[in-house]
Amino acid sequence: MKKVKFIYNPYSGENEILDNLDKVIEIHQSYGYTVVPYRISKNCPVKEALEDVDNSFDYILIAGGDGTVDSVVNAIKARNIDIPIGILPVGTANDFAKFIGIPQNIGEACVQILENPESLVDIGKINDKYFINVASTGLFTDISQKTDDELKNTIGKLAYYIKGLGQLPNFRKLKVKLTSKEEIFDGKMYLMLVFNGQTAGNLKLATKADVCDGKLDVIVFKALAVYELLPLFIKTLKGEHLDDPNVLYFKTDDLLIESSEDIAVDIDGEKGPAFPLTIQCIKDGLKIRGIKK
């Protein structure tokens, strides 16, 4: 039989995967696969999940949110493993899986992954780490890092909004310098996002992103007067923000970000590296199953 390495995070989302383990195995067995599971925990880190993975495995199935997928992808890259991944979106936020069209239903997702062989997609790299969906810096970017897992599992995405309200007293303008061959920005901003995907926290911000174009989509929300924030927020909700003069938007495959501000860097919900940041798009850098042709 063919083999699949199944890496799952039991703490992702509302622990949904724990109620569906048998379904995952049953569906894969019906397609001729032997499932080799690995449960991520504090005592069982991701890197150990890959110790037995070689070319005898057809692919690696990952059950979790964007942070879990990001961790597994970084471990795959560190070990130079060159086999496809599949994603079961069971986290609090599953932005990248939604972007590439993976169903939320676990059974449907398994079938789609099994019936749609590998595709090549771009991947982002920030200093020496990789990201699948978005790297960000500025206000509110570390909300996911600071939100307790138990709270996320209990009330889902609402936990992020509650945590975000608690950070409003820290609202301030941030000085950054951004350099690329397409654009140079040296000024103050509130938030910067560099997308490989399209959404962050299920909010569609990079409306023109394409995971196969060899480019990352950069969005900078410039610092502006408080009274201008509400109109920009409404435009953002409508997907009309990329043409606003208070938003810098462009595509690039190579970007340098510098700042002396004490602000967090986030990679798919996990803590990112310190400044300066060199961000690149690695075209066709990841093999992934489940994308409908």
What pLDDT is recorded for position 147?
A: 42
Check residue 170 and give its pLDDT.
56
Q: What whole-number distance in Å separates Cα of residue 193 and Cα of residue 218? A: 6
Q: Are 141 and 170 in contact (CB under 8 A)?
A: no
What is the topology classification, in CATH, of domain 2-115? Answer: Rossmann fold (3.40.50)
Angle of helix 106-115 versus helix 21-30 axis, rounded to 10? 30
Length of the chain: 293
**Model's pTM, two decimal places?**
0.89
Q: Token pair for residue 164?
A: 């975000």
CA angle 248, 253, 255 (to 5 degrees): 60
pLDDT at 140: 67
Instruction: Report the SS3 class of residue 224.
Output: coil
Q: Where in the chain are all domains bearing CATH 3.40.50.10330?
A: 2-115
Is domain 129-285 classified as CATH 1.10.10.10? no
- Give the phi and the psi of residue 130 in degrees, each rounded to 5: -110, 155
Across the strands, what pairs with 267? 135, 270
Domain with CATH 2.60.200.40 in the chain: 129-285
pLDDT per residue as tens, the chain (293 positions): 899 999 999 988 778 899 999 999 999 999 999 999 999 988 888 989 999 999 999 999 999 999 999 999 999 999 999 999 999 999 877 999 999 999 999 999 999 999 999 999 999 999 999 999 999 998 866 554 444 444 344 434 433 333 443 444 456 889 999 999 999 999 999 999 999 999 987 889 999 999 999 999 999 999 988 788 888 888 988 999 999 999 999 999 999 999 999 888 999 988 899 999 999 999 999 999 999 97
Q: Which amino acid is at 138?
A: G
Strand 2-8, strand 57-64: pairing:
parallel
What was the pLDDT predicted at 118?
95
290: tokens are 């489940």
